[in-house]
Structure 1
Amino acid sequence: MQETRYFTPEGGLPPQSQLLTDRAVFTDAYAVIPKGTLRDITCSRLPFWQGMRMWVLARPLSGFAESFSHYIVELEPGGGSERPETDARAQSALFVVAGSIKITIGSKSEKLGVGGFAYLPAAETWTISNDGDETAQFHWIRKAYVYVDGLDRPEPLFVASEADIEPSPMPDTDGTWATTRFVDPADLRHDMHITIVTLKPGAAIPFLETHVMEHGLYVLEGKGVYRLNQDWVEVEAGDYMWLRAFCPQACYAGGPENFRYLLYKDVNRHMDFL
Protein backbone atom coordinates (compact mmCIF):
# COMPACT_ATOMS: atom_id res chain seq x y z
CA MET A 1 0.00 0.00 0.00
CA GLN A 2 1.42 3.36 -0.98
CA GLU A 3 2.06 6.09 1.56
CA THR A 4 -0.45 8.92 1.36
CA ARG A 5 1.06 12.39 1.63
CA TYR A 6 -0.86 15.52 0.76
CA PHE A 7 0.01 19.19 1.03
CA THR A 8 -2.25 21.20 3.35
CA PRO A 9 -2.32 25.01 3.63
CA GLU A 10 -1.62 26.62 6.99
CA GLY A 11 -3.04 30.11 6.49
CA GLY A 12 -1.36 32.83 8.52
CA LEU A 13 0.25 35.88 6.93
CA PRO A 14 3.71 36.39 5.44
CA PRO A 15 6.13 38.77 7.17
CA GLN A 16 6.28 42.41 6.14
CA SER A 17 9.79 41.75 4.82
CA GLN A 18 8.60 39.31 2.13
CA LEU A 19 8.86 40.36 -1.50
CA LEU A 20 5.58 40.83 -3.34
CA THR A 21 6.80 38.90 -6.39
CA ASP A 22 5.09 35.51 -6.69
CA ARG A 23 3.90 33.02 -9.30
CA ALA A 24 0.19 33.92 -9.27
CA VAL A 25 -1.21 34.55 -12.74
CA PHE A 26 -4.65 34.85 -14.32
CA THR A 27 -4.97 34.75 -18.10
CA ASP A 28 -7.85 34.29 -20.51
CA ALA A 29 -6.96 30.56 -20.80
CA TYR A 30 -5.71 29.51 -17.36
CA ALA A 31 -4.96 30.62 -13.82
CA VAL A 32 -2.24 29.56 -11.39
CA ILE A 33 -2.96 30.08 -7.69
CA PRO A 34 0.27 29.41 -5.73
CA LYS A 35 0.13 27.92 -2.26
CA GLY A 36 1.40 31.20 -0.79
CA THR A 37 -1.90 32.93 -1.59
CA LEU A 38 -3.87 30.67 0.79
CA ARG A 39 -3.67 33.03 3.76
CA ASP A 40 -6.00 34.07 6.55
CA ILE A 41 -7.23 37.14 4.65
CA THR A 42 -8.21 35.09 1.57
CA CYS A 43 -10.41 32.57 3.38
CA SER A 44 -14.20 32.67 3.65
CA ARG A 45 -17.02 31.02 5.59
CA LEU A 46 -20.46 29.59 4.81
CA PRO A 47 -23.89 29.90 6.44
CA PHE A 48 -25.06 27.03 8.67
CA TRP A 49 -21.53 25.84 9.46
CA GLN A 50 -19.64 25.93 12.76
CA GLY A 51 -15.89 25.88 13.24
CA MET A 52 -15.01 26.12 9.57
CA ARG A 53 -13.23 28.32 7.11
CA MET A 54 -12.42 27.71 3.47
CA TRP A 55 -10.35 28.89 0.55
CA VAL A 56 -12.13 29.19 -2.81
CA LEU A 57 -9.81 28.00 -5.55
CA ALA A 58 -12.31 28.05 -8.42
CA ARG A 59 -15.84 29.27 -9.10
CA PRO A 60 -17.92 29.50 -12.28
CA LEU A 61 -16.91 32.59 -14.24
CA SER A 62 -18.67 33.64 -17.42
CA GLY A 63 -16.28 33.42 -20.35
CA PHE A 64 -13.77 31.30 -18.43
CA ALA A 65 -14.35 27.96 -16.66
CA GLU A 66 -18.06 27.72 -15.91
CA SER A 67 -18.86 24.19 -14.76
CA PHE A 68 -17.57 23.86 -11.18
CA SER A 69 -16.33 25.29 -7.90
CA HIS A 70 -13.44 24.00 -5.81
CA TYR A 71 -12.85 24.74 -2.12
CA ILE A 72 -10.34 23.70 0.52
CA VAL A 73 -12.27 23.47 3.80
CA GLU A 74 -10.66 23.57 7.25
CA LEU A 75 -12.92 22.09 9.95
CA GLU A 76 -12.12 22.41 13.65
CA PRO A 77 -12.76 19.61 16.16
CA GLY A 78 -16.46 19.74 17.03
CA GLY A 79 -17.23 21.71 13.87
CA GLY A 80 -19.58 20.76 11.08
CA SER A 81 -22.95 21.49 9.54
CA GLU A 82 -26.48 20.10 9.54
CA ARG A 83 -27.08 21.93 6.26
CA PRO A 84 -23.79 21.98 4.35
CA GLU A 85 -25.28 22.32 0.87
CA THR A 86 -27.92 24.96 0.13
CA ASP A 87 -28.29 24.33 -3.63
CA ALA A 88 -30.26 21.22 -4.62
CA ARG A 89 -28.63 21.27 -8.08
CA ALA A 90 -25.16 20.71 -6.66
CA GLN A 91 -23.43 17.36 -6.48
CA SER A 92 -20.29 17.15 -4.36
CA ALA A 93 -17.00 15.30 -4.19
CA LEU A 94 -14.98 15.45 -0.95
CA PHE A 95 -11.34 14.38 -0.56
CA VAL A 96 -9.73 14.43 2.90
CA VAL A 97 -6.11 15.58 3.21
CA ALA A 98 -5.80 16.01 7.01
CA GLY A 99 -7.65 14.72 10.07
CA SER A 100 -11.01 13.04 9.62
CA ILE A 101 -14.65 13.89 8.90
CA LYS A 102 -17.95 12.07 9.37
CA ILE A 103 -20.64 12.18 6.68
CA THR A 104 -24.19 11.21 7.65
CA ILE A 105 -26.99 10.39 5.20
CA GLY A 106 -30.20 9.39 6.96
CA SER A 107 -29.30 6.78 9.58
CA LYS A 108 -25.98 5.84 7.94
CA SER A 109 -22.68 7.48 8.80
CA GLU A 110 -19.26 7.12 7.17
CA LYS A 111 -16.00 8.30 8.73
CA LEU A 112 -13.27 9.30 6.29
CA GLY A 113 -9.64 9.79 7.23
CA VAL A 114 -6.69 11.04 5.24
CA GLY A 115 -7.08 9.91 1.63
CA GLY A 116 -10.80 9.27 2.04
CA PHE A 117 -13.23 10.19 -0.75
CA ALA A 118 -16.98 10.77 -0.86
CA TYR A 119 -19.35 11.41 -3.74
CA LEU A 120 -22.68 13.01 -2.76
CA PRO A 121 -25.38 13.26 -5.45
CA ALA A 122 -27.41 16.37 -6.17
CA ALA A 123 -30.56 16.77 -4.05
CA GLU A 124 -29.10 14.44 -1.39
CA THR A 125 -29.57 15.44 2.26
CA TRP A 126 -26.35 14.99 4.20
CA THR A 127 -24.55 16.37 7.22
CA ILE A 128 -20.87 16.64 8.13
CA SER A 129 -18.92 16.80 11.38
CA ASN A 130 -15.41 16.58 12.76
CA ASP A 131 -15.62 14.28 15.76
CA GLY A 132 -11.85 13.91 16.06
CA ASP A 133 -9.26 15.73 18.14
CA GLU A 134 -7.43 17.47 15.30
CA THR A 135 -8.37 19.97 12.63
CA ALA A 136 -9.53 18.35 9.40
CA GLN A 137 -8.93 19.63 5.89
CA PHE A 138 -10.70 18.44 2.79
CA HIS A 139 -11.21 19.43 -0.83
CA TRP A 140 -14.83 20.08 -1.81
CA ILE A 141 -15.64 20.10 -5.51
CA ARG A 142 -19.18 21.05 -6.55
CA LYS A 143 -20.95 20.93 -9.90
CA ALA A 144 -24.56 21.37 -10.99
CA TYR A 145 -25.66 17.88 -12.01
CA VAL A 146 -26.83 17.48 -15.61
CA TYR A 147 -29.80 15.07 -15.58
CA VAL A 148 -30.45 12.89 -18.64
CA ASP A 149 -33.83 11.30 -19.30
CA GLY A 150 -33.42 7.55 -18.96
CA LEU A 151 -30.35 7.69 -16.67
CA ASP A 152 -30.72 7.27 -12.92
CA ARG A 153 -29.00 9.66 -10.56
CA PRO A 154 -25.77 8.17 -9.11
CA GLU A 155 -25.94 6.90 -5.56
CA PRO A 156 -23.64 8.13 -2.76
CA LEU A 157 -20.14 6.65 -2.89
CA PHE A 158 -17.53 6.37 -0.16
CA VAL A 159 -13.91 5.25 -0.48
CA ALA A 160 -11.96 4.74 2.75
CA SER A 161 -8.64 5.73 1.18
CA GLU A 162 -7.18 6.37 -2.24
CA ALA A 163 -4.51 3.83 -1.25
CA ASP A 164 -7.22 1.15 -1.53
CA ILE A 165 -7.54 1.80 -5.28
CA GLU A 166 -5.05 0.32 -7.71
CA PRO A 167 -3.85 3.12 -10.02
CA SER A 168 -4.51 2.59 -13.74
CA PRO A 169 -1.29 3.01 -15.76
CA MET A 170 -1.55 4.96 -18.98
CA PRO A 171 -0.78 2.91 -22.11
CA ASP A 172 2.86 2.52 -23.15
CA THR A 173 4.24 4.34 -20.09
CA ASP A 174 5.52 1.38 -17.99
CA GLY A 175 3.49 2.78 -15.09
CA THR A 176 5.37 6.07 -14.90
CA TRP A 177 2.06 7.91 -15.55
CA ALA A 178 -1.00 6.54 -13.78
CA THR A 179 -4.48 7.61 -12.70
CA THR A 180 -6.36 6.72 -9.52
CA ARG A 181 -10.07 6.71 -10.41
CA PHE A 182 -12.65 7.10 -7.65
CA VAL A 183 -15.59 6.55 -10.05
CA ASP A 184 -15.92 3.99 -12.84
CA PRO A 185 -15.27 5.98 -16.05
CA ALA A 186 -17.80 3.76 -17.88
CA ASP A 187 -20.61 4.82 -15.53
CA LEU A 188 -22.39 7.43 -17.65
CA ARG A 189 -24.61 8.52 -14.78
CA HIS A 190 -21.64 10.62 -13.68
CA ASP A 191 -20.99 13.92 -15.43
CA MET A 192 -17.75 14.76 -13.63
CA HIS A 193 -14.65 12.77 -12.76
CA ILE A 194 -12.38 13.37 -9.78
CA THR A 195 -9.08 11.49 -10.04
CA ILE A 196 -5.51 11.58 -8.76
CA VAL A 197 -2.81 11.69 -11.42
CA THR A 198 0.65 10.39 -10.51
CA LEU A 199 3.79 10.96 -12.59
CA LYS A 200 7.09 9.49 -11.48
CA PRO A 201 10.19 11.72 -11.62
CA GLY A 202 11.04 12.45 -15.24
CA ALA A 203 7.70 11.20 -16.59
CA ALA A 204 5.70 13.43 -18.91
CA ILE A 205 2.33 14.06 -20.45
CA PRO A 206 4.02 14.04 -23.86
CA PHE A 207 1.59 16.00 -26.00
CA LEU A 208 -0.41 19.20 -25.75
CA GLU A 209 -3.82 18.02 -24.60
CA THR A 210 -6.44 20.33 -26.13
CA HIS A 211 -9.99 19.34 -25.27
CA VAL A 212 -13.42 20.52 -24.20
CA MET A 213 -13.13 19.47 -20.55
CA GLU A 214 -12.53 22.18 -17.97
CA HIS A 215 -9.91 21.34 -15.34
CA GLY A 216 -9.00 22.07 -11.77
CA LEU A 217 -5.62 20.61 -10.72
CA TYR A 218 -4.40 20.83 -7.12
CA VAL A 219 -0.84 19.63 -6.61
CA LEU A 220 -0.82 17.19 -3.67
CA GLU A 221 2.85 16.24 -3.76
CA GLY A 222 6.07 17.00 -5.60
CA LYS A 223 6.85 19.53 -8.30
CA GLY A 224 6.66 19.77 -12.08
CA VAL A 225 6.78 22.04 -15.08
CA TYR A 226 3.42 22.56 -16.81
CA ARG A 227 2.83 23.86 -20.31
CA LEU A 228 -0.34 25.98 -20.17
CA ASN A 229 -1.42 27.55 -23.44
CA GLN A 230 1.79 29.26 -24.64
CA ASP A 231 3.61 29.33 -21.28
CA TRP A 232 5.80 26.99 -19.24
CA VAL A 233 4.94 27.29 -15.54
CA GLU A 234 6.69 25.70 -12.54
CA VAL A 235 4.31 24.33 -9.92
CA GLU A 236 4.77 22.52 -6.61
CA ALA A 237 2.74 20.92 -3.84
CA GLY A 238 -0.01 23.30 -2.71
CA ASP A 239 -0.35 25.11 -6.05
CA TYR A 240 -3.59 25.11 -8.04
CA MET A 241 -4.12 25.29 -11.80
CA TRP A 242 -7.48 26.28 -13.24
CA LEU A 243 -8.00 25.68 -16.96
CA ARG A 244 -10.81 26.69 -19.27
CA ALA A 245 -11.96 24.45 -22.11
CA PHE A 246 -9.42 23.86 -24.92
CA CYS A 247 -6.45 25.31 -23.01
CA PRO A 248 -3.43 23.36 -24.34
CA GLN A 249 -1.68 21.46 -21.53
CA ALA A 250 1.26 19.11 -20.99
CA CYS A 251 3.85 18.58 -18.25
CA TYR A 252 7.09 17.08 -16.99
CA ALA A 253 7.45 15.68 -13.45
CA GLY A 254 10.44 17.27 -11.75
CA GLY A 255 11.34 14.87 -8.93
CA PRO A 256 12.92 13.84 -6.65
CA GLU A 257 9.51 12.53 -5.47
CA ASN A 258 6.40 11.72 -7.45
CA PHE A 259 4.39 14.58 -8.94
CA ARG A 260 0.76 14.05 -7.94
CA TYR A 261 -2.36 16.16 -8.34
CA LEU A 262 -6.09 16.01 -7.68
CA LEU A 263 -7.91 16.54 -10.98
CA TYR A 264 -11.46 17.65 -11.85
CA LYS A 265 -13.00 17.43 -15.31
CA ASP A 266 -16.54 17.53 -16.72
CA VAL A 267 -17.49 14.53 -18.87
CA ASN A 268 -20.23 12.40 -20.48
CA ARG A 269 -22.74 15.01 -21.59
CA HIS A 270 -23.84 16.82 -24.75
CA MET A 271 -22.62 20.37 -25.21
CA ASP A 272 -25.21 22.99 -24.28
CA PHE A 273 -26.36 25.48 -26.90
CA LEU A 274 -26.22 29.09 -25.75
Structure 2
Amino acid sequence: MSNYFSPEGGLPPQTQLLTDRAVVKAAYTVIPKGVLRDIVTSNLPGWTRTRAWIIARPIAGFSTTFSQLIVEVAPGGGSLKPEAETGVEGVIFLTQGELTLTLDGEVHHLEAGSYAYLAAGSGWRVSNDAAEGAASFQWIRKAYEPLEGFTAKSFVTRDQDVEPQPMPDTNGVWATSRFVDPDDLAHDMHVNIVTFQPGGSIPFAETHVMEHGLFVLEGKAVYRLNDDWVEVEAGDFMWLRAFCPQACYAGGPGPFRYLLYKDVNRQIRLT
Protein backbone atom coordinates (compact mmCIF):
# COMPACT_ATOMS: atom_id res chain seq x y z
CA MET A 1 0.00 0.00 0.00
CA SER A 2 1.22 3.49 -0.83
CA ASN A 3 2.50 5.85 1.84
CA TYR A 4 0.92 9.17 0.83
CA PHE A 5 2.56 12.40 1.99
CA SER A 6 0.65 14.68 4.37
CA PRO A 7 2.18 17.87 5.81
CA GLU A 8 2.68 18.21 9.55
CA GLY A 9 3.23 21.96 9.78
CA GLY A 10 5.48 23.22 12.55
CA LEU A 11 8.41 25.58 12.10
CA PRO A 12 12.05 24.82 11.29
CA PRO A 13 14.73 25.75 13.84
CA GLN A 14 16.35 29.18 13.74
CA THR A 15 19.58 27.49 12.66
CA GLN A 16 18.14 26.23 9.36
CA LEU A 17 19.33 27.84 6.13
CA LEU A 18 16.72 29.94 4.33
CA THR A 19 17.46 28.61 0.86
CA ASP A 20 14.85 26.13 -0.40
CA ARG A 21 13.51 24.89 -3.73
CA ALA A 22 10.49 27.21 -4.01
CA VAL A 23 10.29 28.95 -7.37
CA VAL A 24 7.66 30.98 -9.21
CA LYS A 25 8.09 31.51 -12.95
CA ALA A 26 5.80 32.51 -15.81
CA ALA A 27 5.44 28.93 -17.05
CA TYR A 28 5.43 27.02 -13.76
CA THR A 29 5.58 27.17 -9.97
CA VAL A 30 7.14 24.73 -7.50
CA ILE A 31 5.93 24.80 -3.88
CA PRO A 32 8.20 22.39 -1.95
CA LYS A 33 7.02 20.52 1.11
CA GLY A 34 9.41 22.52 3.31
CA VAL A 35 7.24 25.64 3.07
CA LEU A 36 4.05 23.93 4.26
CA ARG A 37 4.33 25.42 7.76
CA ASP A 38 1.82 26.45 10.41
CA ILE A 39 2.04 30.17 9.67
CA VAL A 40 0.86 29.80 6.06
CA THR A 41 -2.36 27.92 6.83
CA SER A 42 -5.84 29.41 6.51
CA ASN A 43 -9.10 28.85 8.33
CA LEU A 44 -12.00 27.92 6.07
CA PRO A 45 -15.44 29.49 6.65
CA GLY A 46 -17.99 26.90 7.71
CA TRP A 47 -15.37 24.45 8.96
CA THR A 48 -14.48 23.58 12.56
CA ARG A 49 -11.17 22.29 13.94
CA THR A 50 -9.73 22.56 10.44
CA ARG A 51 -6.80 24.28 8.76
CA ALA A 52 -5.82 24.42 5.10
CA TRP A 53 -2.79 25.06 2.95
CA ILE A 54 -4.00 26.75 -0.24
CA ILE A 55 -1.51 25.68 -2.90
CA ALA A 56 -3.29 26.86 -6.05
CA ARG A 57 -5.92 29.47 -6.83
CA PRO A 58 -6.96 31.52 -9.86
CA ILE A 59 -4.71 34.57 -9.82
CA ALA A 60 -2.72 36.55 -12.37
CA GLY A 61 0.31 34.51 -13.41
CA PHE A 62 -0.91 31.34 -11.74
CA SER A 63 -3.75 28.86 -12.15
CA THR A 64 -6.65 29.83 -14.38
CA THR A 65 -9.08 26.90 -14.10
CA PHE A 66 -8.86 25.43 -10.58
CA SER A 67 -7.98 25.76 -6.93
CA GLN A 68 -6.23 23.14 -4.81
CA LEU A 69 -6.02 22.85 -1.04
CA ILE A 70 -4.47 20.52 1.50
CA VAL A 71 -7.05 20.25 4.26
CA GLU A 72 -6.32 18.93 7.76
CA VAL A 73 -9.29 18.12 9.99
CA ALA A 74 -8.74 17.38 13.69
CA PRO A 75 -10.94 14.89 15.57
CA GLY A 76 -14.41 16.36 16.04
CA GLY A 77 -13.92 18.76 13.14
CA GLY A 78 -15.46 19.05 9.71
CA SER A 79 -18.10 20.96 7.79
CA LEU A 80 -21.85 20.65 7.19
CA LYS A 81 -21.58 22.65 3.95
CA PRO A 82 -18.03 22.54 2.58
CA GLU A 83 -18.81 23.91 -0.89
CA ALA A 84 -20.27 27.40 -0.68
CA GLU A 85 -20.32 28.12 -4.43
CA THR A 86 -22.99 26.82 -6.78
CA GLY A 87 -21.78 25.27 -10.01
CA VAL A 88 -18.47 24.09 -8.53
CA GLU A 89 -17.33 20.46 -8.76
CA GLY A 90 -14.61 18.90 -6.66
CA VAL A 91 -12.39 15.95 -5.89
CA ILE A 92 -11.13 14.97 -2.47
CA PHE A 93 -8.33 12.44 -2.04
CA LEU A 94 -7.54 11.31 1.48
CA THR A 95 -3.85 10.93 2.29
CA GLN A 96 -4.02 10.37 6.07
CA GLY A 97 -6.48 9.34 8.76
CA GLU A 98 -10.20 8.68 8.43
CA LEU A 99 -13.07 10.86 7.32
CA THR A 100 -16.84 10.40 7.19
CA LEU A 101 -18.33 11.73 3.97
CA THR A 102 -22.09 12.08 3.58
CA LEU A 103 -22.78 12.51 -0.13
CA ASP A 104 -26.34 13.04 -1.36
CA GLY A 105 -27.61 11.28 1.75
CA GLU A 106 -25.29 8.24 1.55
CA VAL A 107 -22.59 7.79 4.20
CA HIS A 108 -19.06 6.79 3.15
CA HIS A 109 -16.19 6.00 5.51
CA LEU A 110 -12.99 7.23 3.87
CA GLU A 111 -9.43 6.11 4.61
CA ALA A 112 -6.04 6.85 3.08
CA GLY A 113 -6.39 6.30 -0.67
CA SER A 114 -10.11 7.11 -0.80
CA TYR A 115 -11.21 9.28 -3.72
CA ALA A 116 -14.51 11.12 -4.09
CA TYR A 117 -15.77 13.03 -7.11
CA LEU A 118 -18.27 15.65 -5.96
CA ALA A 119 -20.46 16.77 -8.83
CA ALA A 120 -21.54 20.39 -9.06
CA GLY A 121 -24.76 20.86 -7.11
CA SER A 122 -24.34 17.72 -5.00
CA GLY A 123 -25.02 17.87 -1.28
CA TRP A 124 -22.12 16.73 0.87
CA ARG A 125 -20.55 17.15 4.28
CA VAL A 126 -17.49 15.72 6.03
CA SER A 127 -16.42 15.02 9.59
CA ASN A 128 -13.50 13.45 11.41
CA ASP A 129 -15.22 11.10 13.85
CA ALA A 130 -12.03 9.36 15.01
CA ALA A 131 -11.06 9.47 18.67
CA GLU A 132 -7.58 10.66 17.76
CA GLY A 133 -5.50 11.53 14.69
CA ALA A 134 -5.99 14.21 12.07
CA ALA A 135 -7.46 13.50 8.65
CA SER A 136 -5.63 15.10 5.73
CA PHE A 137 -6.84 15.34 2.15
CA GLN A 138 -6.27 17.04 -1.17
CA TRP A 139 -9.26 19.12 -2.30
CA ILE A 140 -9.40 20.21 -5.94
CA ARG A 141 -12.19 22.55 -7.07
CA LYS A 142 -13.25 23.71 -10.51
CA ALA A 143 -16.19 25.67 -11.93
CA TYR A 144 -18.08 23.00 -13.88
CA GLU A 145 -18.72 23.76 -17.55
CA PRO A 146 -22.01 22.04 -18.45
CA LEU A 147 -22.40 20.26 -21.77
CA GLU A 148 -25.83 19.64 -23.27
CA GLY A 149 -26.78 15.97 -23.09
CA PHE A 150 -24.20 15.04 -20.46
CA THR A 151 -24.28 15.08 -16.65
CA ALA A 152 -21.34 14.31 -14.39
CA LYS A 153 -22.39 12.21 -11.39
CA SER A 154 -20.78 11.93 -7.97
CA PHE A 155 -18.98 8.74 -6.96
CA VAL A 156 -16.62 7.35 -4.32
CA THR A 157 -13.80 4.86 -4.92
CA ARG A 158 -10.25 4.10 -3.75
CA ASP A 159 -6.79 4.24 -5.26
CA GLN A 160 -6.37 0.61 -4.15
CA ASP A 161 -9.39 -0.47 -6.25
CA VAL A 162 -8.39 1.20 -9.52
CA GLU A 163 -6.02 -0.75 -11.76
CA PRO A 164 -3.23 1.46 -13.15
CA GLN A 165 -3.25 1.48 -16.96
CA PRO A 166 0.25 1.21 -18.47
CA MET A 167 1.13 3.78 -21.10
CA PRO A 168 1.84 2.25 -24.53
CA ASP A 169 5.34 0.92 -25.21
CA THR A 170 6.62 1.54 -21.67
CA ASN A 171 6.82 -2.01 -20.29
CA GLY A 172 4.64 -0.86 -17.41
CA VAL A 173 7.11 1.60 -15.89
CA TRP A 174 4.70 4.50 -16.58
CA ALA A 175 1.04 3.99 -15.71
CA THR A 176 -2.03 6.07 -14.91
CA SER A 177 -4.83 5.30 -12.46
CA ARG A 178 -7.86 6.82 -14.21
CA PHE A 179 -10.83 7.47 -11.95
CA VAL A 180 -13.14 8.47 -14.81
CA ASP A 181 -13.37 7.28 -18.41
CA PRO A 182 -11.31 9.70 -20.57
CA ASP A 183 -14.00 9.45 -23.27
CA ASP A 184 -16.83 10.48 -20.94
CA LEU A 185 -17.64 14.02 -22.04
CA ALA A 186 -19.65 14.62 -18.88
CA HIS A 187 -16.35 15.30 -17.13
CA ASP A 188 -14.47 18.52 -17.88
CA MET A 189 -11.58 17.74 -15.53
CA HIS A 190 -9.53 14.65 -14.77
CA VAL A 191 -7.84 14.04 -11.44
CA ASN A 192 -5.72 10.92 -11.84
CA ILE A 193 -2.73 9.30 -10.15
CA VAL A 194 0.37 8.85 -12.30
CA THR A 195 2.93 6.22 -11.26
CA PHE A 196 6.51 5.78 -12.48
CA GLN A 197 8.64 2.85 -11.45
CA PRO A 198 12.33 3.65 -10.74
CA GLY A 199 14.00 4.64 -13.98
CA GLY A 200 10.70 5.30 -15.77
CA SER A 201 10.32 8.51 -17.71
CA ILE A 202 8.13 10.71 -19.85
CA PRO A 203 10.29 10.27 -22.97
CA PHE A 204 9.38 13.54 -24.69
CA ALA A 205 8.57 17.11 -23.71
CA GLU A 206 4.78 17.15 -23.44
CA THR A 207 3.48 20.50 -24.68
CA HIS A 208 -0.30 20.79 -24.59
CA VAL A 209 -3.28 22.98 -23.83
CA MET A 210 -4.18 21.36 -20.49
CA GLU A 211 -3.23 23.21 -17.31
CA HIS A 212 -1.77 20.99 -14.60
CA GLY A 213 -1.59 20.77 -10.84
CA LEU A 214 0.72 17.97 -9.60
CA PHE A 215 0.99 16.99 -5.94
CA VAL A 216 3.71 14.41 -5.32
CA LEU A 217 2.29 11.63 -3.15
CA GLU A 218 5.33 9.39 -2.98
CA GLY A 219 8.94 9.06 -4.15
CA LYS A 220 11.19 11.47 -6.02
CA ALA A 221 12.08 12.47 -9.58
CA VAL A 222 13.77 15.04 -11.75
CA TYR A 223 11.09 17.00 -13.59
CA ARG A 224 11.55 19.03 -16.77
CA LEU A 225 9.56 22.26 -16.47
CA ASN A 226 9.84 24.54 -19.50
CA ASP A 227 13.64 24.80 -19.90
CA ASP A 228 14.62 23.81 -16.34
CA TRP A 229 15.28 20.46 -14.67
CA VAL A 230 13.89 20.51 -11.10
CA GLU A 231 14.23 17.87 -8.38
CA VAL A 232 10.93 17.07 -6.68
CA GLU A 233 9.89 14.68 -3.92
CA ALA A 234 6.88 13.57 -1.91
CA GLY A 235 5.03 16.61 -0.56
CA ASP A 236 6.02 18.99 -3.36
CA PHE A 237 3.40 20.72 -5.53
CA MET A 238 3.88 21.86 -9.13
CA TRP A 239 1.65 24.14 -11.17
CA LEU A 240 2.17 24.07 -14.96
CA ARG A 241 0.49 26.60 -17.20
CA ALA A 242 -1.00 25.55 -20.53
CA PHE A 243 1.67 24.63 -23.09
CA CYS A 244 4.49 24.44 -20.53
CA PRO A 245 6.89 21.74 -21.86
CA GLN A 246 7.18 18.91 -19.34
CA ALA A 247 8.93 15.56 -18.89
CA CYS A 248 10.47 13.59 -16.03
CA TYR A 249 12.80 10.81 -14.88
CA ALA A 250 11.82 8.80 -11.78
CA GLY A 251 14.75 8.58 -9.39
CA GLY A 252 13.84 5.60 -7.19
CA PRO A 253 14.45 3.65 -5.07
CA GLY A 254 10.66 3.23 -4.95
CA PRO A 255 7.75 4.35 -7.14
CA PHE A 256 7.24 8.02 -7.96
CA ARG A 257 3.52 8.88 -7.74
CA TYR A 258 1.60 12.12 -8.07
CA LEU A 259 -2.00 13.34 -8.08
CA LEU A 260 -2.57 15.09 -11.42
CA TYR A 261 -5.22 17.68 -12.31
CA LYS A 262 -5.98 18.70 -15.87
CA ASP A 263 -8.87 20.43 -17.65
CA VAL A 264 -10.28 18.44 -20.58
CA ASN A 265 -13.15 17.71 -22.96
CA ARG A 266 -14.41 21.20 -23.76
CA GLN A 267 -14.21 23.47 -26.80
CA ILE A 268 -12.12 26.62 -26.38
CA ARG A 269 -14.31 29.63 -25.65
CA LEU A 270 -13.55 32.62 -27.87
CA THR A 271 -16.54 34.89 -27.10
TM-score (norm 1): 0.96
Aligned to 1:145: 144
Aligned to 2:135: 136
Counterpart selection for 1:127 from 125, 128, 134: 125
1:191 aligns with 2:188: yes
Instruction: Give 1:135's aligned amino acid.
Output: A
Whole-angstrom distance in 1 between the partners of 2:189 and 2:2: 24
Q: CA deviation at 1:63?
A: 4.5
Contact 1:30 1:247 in 2 (8 A): yes
Contact 2:82 2:125 in 1 (8 A): yes
Tell me the secondary structure at the aligned position of residue 142 of structure 1.
strand
Tell me the secondary structure at the aligned position of residue 36 of structure 1.
helix
Contact 2:2 2:218 in 1 (8 A): no
Contact 1:65 1:245 in 2 (8 A): no
Instruction: Give 1:247's aligned amino acid.
Output: C
Stretches (4+) displaced over 2 A:
62-65
1:94 aligns with 2:96: no
Contact 1:88 1:124 in 2 (8 A): no
Whole-angstrom distance in 1 between the partners of 2:185 and 2:162: 20
Whole-angstrom distance in 1 between the partners of 2:121 and 2:113: 25
Tell me the secondary structure at the aligned position of residue 186 of structure 1.
coil
Tell me the secondary structure at the aligned position of residue 129 of structure 2.
coil
Q: What is the CA deviation profile of residues 65-96 of structure 1, one whole-angstrom value per residue up to 9, with x for unaligned ones?
A: 20000000000111111111100121010000
Whole-angstrom distance in 1 between the partners of 2:126 and 2:268: 34
Aligned to 2:32: 34
Q: What is the CA deviation profile of residues 18-67 of structure 1, one whole-angstrom value per residue up to 9, with x for unaligned ones?
A: 11100000000000000001000111011111010000111112344200
Counterpart selection for 2:266 from 266, 269, 273: 269
1:249 aligns with 2:246: yes
Aligned to 1:77: 75
Tell me the secondary structure at the aligned position of residue 34 of structure 2.
helix
Contact 2:46 2:82 in 1 (8 A): yes
Q: What is the CA deviation profile of residues 170-228 of structure 1, one whole-angstrom value per residue up to 9, with x for unaligned ones?
A: 00001000001111112110000011100011110000000000000011111100010
Instruction: Give 2:246's aligned amino acid.
Output: Q
Whole-angstrom distance in 2 between the partners of 1:54 and 1:235: 22
Whole-angstrom distance in 2 between the partners of 1:236 and 1:197: 14
RMSD: 1.0
For structure 1, the 5+ residue unaligned runs are: none
Q: CA deviation at 1:4?
A: 1.9
Q: What is the CA deviation profile of residues 147-177 of structure 1, one whole-angstrom value per residue up to 9, with x for unaligned ones?
A: 11222x2111100x21111100000001000
- Alignment length (residue pairs): 270
Tell me the secondary structure at the aligned position of residue 86 of structure 1.
coil
For structure 2, the 5+ residue unaligned runs are: none
TM-score (norm 2): 0.97
Identity %: 59
Whole-angstrom distance in 2 between the partners of 1:241 and 1:189: 26
Aligned to 1:59: 57
